[in-house]
Amino acid sequence: MSFLKRIFGSKQNQQPQQKATNEVNLDTYKKIPWMTDNRLQNIQICLEAGFRPASSLPTEFERKLRPSIEIAKRLNAIKALVLWLMVPEEHLESERILSFVTNNELQNFMDEEEREILTLSRGDEDARNAIGWKFENAWTLAWFFGYKEPEISGEMMSGEQMQEILIEFTCPLEKSVENWLNNLNTISEEEVIQKEDLFYCLHNAVRSAQLGGSTVPTSFDPMVNGGVIHERRHSLTWMLQEGINWNETDLST
- Residues 160 and 5: beta-carbon distance below 8 Å: yes
Predicted local distance difference test score (pLDDT) of residue 4 = 58
- Residues 199 and 232: beta-carbon distance below 8 Å: yes
**In the chain, what percentage of residues exceed pLDDT 70?**
91
Residue 168 pLDDT exceeds 90: yes
Residue 22 pLDDT exceeds 50: no
pLDDT confidence bin for 183, thresholds 50/70/90: confident
Instruction: Tell me what the pLDDT averaged over the chain comes to.
Output: 91
Q: Produce one character per residue of 14-49: b if its CB has 16 or more CB atoms within 10 Å, e if not.
A: eeeebebebebeeeebeeeeeeeeebeebbeebbeb
Helix, strand, coil percent content, the chain, rounded in steps of 5: 55, 0, 45
Please write the tens of the pLDDT for every residue from 90-137.
999 999 999 999 999 999 999 999 999 999 999 899 999 888 899 999
Please write the tens of the pLDDT for every residue from 42-76.
999 999 999 999 999 999 888 999 999 999 999 99
Mean pLDDT score, 222-230: 97
Q: What are the residue boundaries of the structural domains of the chain, listed by start?
A: 17-64+186-248, 66-147+156-182
Residue 12 pLDDT exceeds 70: no
